Amino acid sequence: MAKSTAPQVVRSYLTQLERALVGLPVEVRDEIMAGIREELDGLDAAAAADRIETLGDPEFVAAEARAEAGASAAEPPSEPRWFPVLAALLVAVGGIVIPFIGWIVGIAMVWMSKSWRLRDKWIATLTPFAAVAVIPLATLLIEWTTGGSGSAGQQEPNPLIPAAYDLAWSGVVFALLVNVIVGVWLLVRSRSRWRSADAPTRQLSGVQPTWYSVLTVALIIVGGYVVPVVGWLVGVAMLWASDRWSRRDKWLGTLAGPAVIVAAVAVVLIVRLGAGDTGNLLWWHLVLVGGGALPLIANLIVGIRLLRR
Amino acid sequence: MTADVGAQLRKGVVESCVLGLLSREPMYGWQLSETLIAHRMIASIGTLYPMLSRLRAQGLVSTYEQASDAGPVRKYYRLTDAGTEQLNNFREQWGPFTRTVHDLVGKDDTHG
């Protein structure tokens, strides 16, 4: 029953620890938090309290970490604040201002910057390619499914399948759109660094404020209805940028919507093929309504779960 | 006083001990920390992670994630080729080093 929520003792320990670790290099802080969180994840209150006893006082853990991190001394000099901001902006809109080259410069700056971890850099670089690859795949899927239901040997061009030229164009437009989202996401990610840099004067800011959690969940649930797809994507980006949720929760929040859509489409396709392609229009209406309503329901359920964490 | 000597000694070798542990099998943070604490090489898990970050920055260890049977996805640390090489260097030097130190400080003549 209480299994969906981490025990109070865990949450308060993690909060205290996060506060105590302020001022340490972000990688170290993240790694300590992740390491301890993964160990306390899924334990009941008693077992967790036991582990926490072993771990020791958050201040002690932090002091030890600080001593050890200080021992490595040679922290690389920090880069100017504008550098990651410019990099993220170039990723977001550079490709629109100077086609392709603007984006390349942005990505190069992202790779040069110390504001992001390696994983973030890969995500920023590869996401547009992955997104664009979805289009021909979707087309193939349509071709395959409609081809499967048509009579054999028919060679008429299917109006549902766009020509190569259309594909290329929608790919470019889609990539530009995706890059805007990636750029915003990069900005969000790099902010966690500024926080730690400002640490001494902003002691409490390391802990995620409530409005951030609420906004994240709200965007995942209804963002896609306000600004189609993009609203939802921003919510998902904020979800992944956050420290509050575990990896499993993040995947859950990300995949719930797409999963029900895929499931709904699969069911409709199977039923439709089984029924011998009758009532074509009706079925697609069902897909439309289902595609609108089902993710709302799924995301609502997941959203409530996320907020209770 | 003696504690200080111990701390200084540990400081020089604890990274190599991490490499040594990881050369047997990949381990996750908590596992490493428990082992090192049990052997009194570190005082807290807080000591471990800055060290792991440093080892990773030097390319001596790498990480991967793996789900455990019990549930949580864990980040495992393993030795890279460079790490293995570093460990072998340490092993080669450690024997002669301790012998030398032993020769120099080994006998307590004054209290013989």
What separation in angstroms does the CA of A120 have from each of A23, A110, A245?
Answer: 21, 9, 17
**How far is the C-alpha of A237 from the C-alpha of A254, rounded, in Å?**
9
Stated pTM of the model = 0.43
B50 located within any domain: yes
Of B30, B50, B52, the CB nearest to A39: B30
pLDDT at residue number A296: 82
Q: Find the chain B residues whose C-beta atoms sit closer than 8 A to any C-beta of A.
A: 11, 28-30, 33, 42-47, 49-54, 70-75
Question: Least CB-CB distance to B50: which of A38, A41, A65?
Answer: A65
Q: What is the domain count for chain B?
A: 1
User: CB B44 to CB A55 under 8 A?
Assistant: yes
- Name the residue in chain B with its Cα closest to that of A35: B29
Test mutation, A32, A72, A114, A119, chain B, max B CBs within 10 A: A32
CA A18 to CA A58: how far, in whole Å?
Answer: 8
Q: Among A66, A57, A62, which Cα is nearest to A13's? A: A57
Q: Phi/psi of residue A276, each to 5°?
A: 70, 40
Amino acid in the structure at residue A107: I
Which site among A10, A39, A59, A72 would you substitute to test the B interface, given the most B Cβ atoms closer than 10 Å to its Cβ? A39
User: Contact B52/A31 with Cβ under 8 angstroms?
Assistant: yes
- Searching chain B, which residue's CA lies closest to the CA of residue A62? B46
Residue B103 lies in a domain: no
- For A231-257, the three-class secondary structure string (H helix, E strand, C coil) is HHHHHHHHHHHCCCCCHHHHHHHHHHH
The runs of H, that is alpha helices, within A58-117 are 58-71, 82-89, 95-97, 101-112
Residues sharing a CB contact under 8 Å with residue A259, sequence separation 6 or more, in sequence order: A298
Mean pLDDT of chain A: 77
Nearest residue of chain B to residue A69 (CA atoms): B50
Q: Is pLDDT above 90 for B20?
A: yes
Residues of A in contact with B44 (CB under 8 A): 55-56, 60-61, 64-65
pLDDT digits (tens, 9 = 90+) for B56-103: 989 999 999 888 776 678 889 999 999 999 999 999 999 999 999 988
ipTM exceeding the 0.85 mark: no
Q: Do A64 and B46 touch (CB under 8 A)?
A: yes
The chain A residue lying nearest B53, using CA atoms, is A28
**Residues on chain A bordering chain B, Cβ-to-Cβ distance under 8 angstroms:** 24-25, 27-28, 31-32, 34-36, 38-39, 41-42, 55-56, 60-69, 71-72, 246-248
A123-127, A245-249, A291-295: lowest mean pLDDT where? A291-295
User: CA A172: distance to chain centroid?
Assistant: 22
Separation CA A185–CA A110 (nearest Å):
12
Q: Say which residues have a Cβ less than 8 Å from residue A210's Cβ, sequence separation at least 6.
A: none
pLDDT on residue A196: 47
Does a structural domain hold residue B83?
A: yes
pLDDT 10s digits, A11-22: 899 999 988 888
What tokens were used for A69? 């991190």
Range(s) of the domain holding residue B43: 2-94
In a domain, B104, yes or no: no
Which tokens is A230 given?
A: 């993009």
CB neighbour burial string for A256-288, b if at least 16 within 10 angstroms, e if fewer: bbeebbeebeeebbeebeeeeeeeeeebeebbe
Query: Is residue A208 helix, strand or coil?
Result: coil
Angle of CA points B22, B23, B26, to nearest 5°: 45
pLDDT band at A302 (very low <50, low <70, confident <90, very high): confident
Would residue B109 count as lying in a domain?
no
Q: What digits encode the pLDDT tens for the residues A20-66? A: 888 888 888 888 998 898 888 888 888 889 889 888 889 889 988 88
Tokens 């072993």 locate to: A54
Interatomic CA distance for residues B24 and B84, integer angstroms: 11
| Amino acid sitting at position B59 | G
For A112-167, what is each residue's pLDDT tens digit? 887 888 888 999 999 888 888 877 777 777 777 776 544 444 455 555 555 666 77
CATH code where residue B64 lies: 1.10.10.10
Strands B27-28 and B73-79: antiparallel
Rounded (10°) CA dihedral B21, B23, B25, B29: 50
| pLDDT at B79 (0 to 100) | 94
Residue type, A155: Q
